[in-house]
Amino acid sequence: MTARAGAPTTPVTVIGAGPYGLAAAAHLRGAGIPARVLGEPMDTWRAHMPAGMYLKSTPSASSISAPRAAWGLAAFRAFEGRPPGDDLHPVPGGEFTRYGTWFAEQCVPDVERVEVTGVALDGRGFRLTSADGEEFTSRAVVLATGQTAYAYLPEVLAGPRDAGRASHTADHADLSGFAGQRVAVLGAGQSALESAALLREAGAYPTVVARAPRLLFGTPPADGDPRARPMAERLVKPASPLGPGWSLRSVSGAPGAYRHLPDRARARLLRTVLGPSGAWWLRERVDGVVPVLLGRAVRAADDTPDGVRLRLRGPDGSTEVLDVDHVLAATGYHVDVDRLTLLDESLRRAVRRIGRAPRLTGDFESSVPGLYFTGLAAAATFGPVLRFVCGTGFAARRIGAGVATRLRR
């Protein structure tokens, strides 16, 4: 369908229905701002997270923000007839997907399950096109498209990727299909280590290959309730949604102040404050169980009749060879506005950048008036808390205030 002549302009449209899109929509509506929300609820979690994965965030830091506290993870568990749980037990990815779907039903029940295929500047704001052929205008647009578009696969894997022998962890909703295969897992972070554990438990033969000199794992909490920690321990390492420690407390508690740091300082903190590591509960499933090659860099990846031959440079500069059937890259996500092809090219060019990520105001607005970014795309401006569910509250409140101000003008 196409837009009807004289059809009213939508005040604001939220593109994406994952945690950040749902939170933004809930806060906008809580402020009395009508918003259309387009996207499949929790699609990234359902289609791009391998079955069996857990959230790295603790349960107490895994609630999607809403204007009222009635829609947190504990409320969902009560709805399903289960106890609220504690921080000694991680949140299964499947449960979080169900929770997000339930949150949408309670707070944003009219999500339109349709893909937005085009966004362009229009005299009245923005012109949007959906996959079913509808065209409409919106005064403001909130992009909550998640992280999948930014999945980073090293160029050295281009040949095996084209041959179907290399992929990113975001390409898989189930790793059981690798049973019986030799799989090199690249990376030393949560995604790499948990993928390696899942592969082994599914009957595959994983080997972790990492540049890092050693694997790091978090420290298990002494108690399921972080408030029960001794006062002396809390003073030395204060609690935060991202874990204990002053650096984590700072970046999670003051993302608005983080925005005012120099670009270089923000980039360094984004890279180092939460470096590659696995959750504490992963250690027993990986350490001493899965083969690990540390301090190795992939110099070449060649197709062979039997799979992929990786040429690795070791910490002493020596070269070694690893033959596998498949390479699974847990190499993270690199935000790049130019990869958002749903945005018209001229619109993408108008977005000012920090590197390749959008440079945002304190209200998450880009240099294009009325165009807002949230979630991972906002981490370059506001810090690592925007990589986690616990960042939904700060983002949604700021966006709600910013959109309300814009619509009043």
CA distances from 203 to 69, 206, 255 (A): 42, 9, 42
In a domain, residue 249? The reply is: no
pLDDT of residue 231: 63
Mark whether 291 and 376 lie in a shared domain: no
CB-count exposure of residue 51 (10 Å: 0-12, 13-18, 19+) = middle
> What is the total count of domains within the chain?
2
Write 100-106 long-range contacts (CB < 8 A, 24+). 100/18, 100/19, 100/22, 100/41, 100/42, 100/45, 100/64, 101/41, 101/42, 102/76, 103/22, 103/26, 103/64, 103/66, 103/71, 103/76, 104/17, 104/22, 104/41, 104/42, 106/71
What tokens does 3 get?
A: 């837009």
CA distances from 304 to 279, 297, 301, 308, 366 (A): 35, 20, 10, 6, 46
Helices (H), 38-144: 43-47, 73-79, 93-107
CATH code assigned at 66:
3.50.50.60
Q: Which domain holds residue 317?
A: 155-216+277-329
Q: Is the distance from CB of 103 to CB of 17 less than 8 angstroms?
A: no
Mark whether 67 and 171 lie in a shared domain: no
Mark whether 23 and 87 lie in a shared domain: yes
pLDDT in tens, the chain (409 residues): 454 444 678 999 999 999 999 999 999 999 999 999 999 999 999 999 999 999 999 999 999 999 988 999 999 999 999 999 888 899 999 999 999 999 999 999 999 999 999 999 998 799 999 999 999 999 999 999 999 999 999 999 999 999 999 999 999 999 999 999 999 999 999 999 999 999 999 999 999 999 999 999 988 876 656 666 666 666 666 777 777 777 788 888 889 999 999 999 999 999 888 889 999 999 999 999 999 999 999 999 999 999 999 999 999 999 999 999 999 999 999 999 999 999 999 999 999 999 999 999 999 999 999 999 999 999 999 999 999 999 999 999 999 999 999 998 7
pLDDT of residue 222: 67
* HEC string for 370-396: CEEECHHHHHHHHCHHHHCHHHHHHHH
In a domain, residue 294? The reply is: yes
In a domain, residue 241? The reply is: no
pLDDT of residue 4: 44
In a domain, residue 255? The reply is: no
pLDDT of residue 232: 61
Nearest to 399 by CA among 67, 117, 70: 67
Mark whether 203 and 111 lie in a shared domain: no
In a domain, residue 138? The reply is: yes
Mark whether 183 and 290 lie in a shared domain: yes
In a domain, residue 96? The reply is: yes
Mark whether 72 and 125 lie in a shared domain: yes
Q: Is the distance from CB of 183 to CB of 328 less than 8 angstroms?
A: yes
In a domain, residue 221? The reply is: no
Mark whether 168 and 205 lie in a shared domain: yes
* Rg of the chain taking only CA atoms, in angstroms: 22
Nearest to 163 by CA among 324, 6, 390, 341: 324
Q: How many C-alpha atoms does 66 have within 13 Å on its Cβ side?
A: 19
Mark whether 293 and 351 lie in a shared domain: no
Mark whether 210 and 102 lie in a shared domain: no
Residue type for 7, please? A
Mark whether 338 and 325 lie in a shared domain: no
pLDDT of residue 252: 83
In a domain, residue 344? The reply is: yes
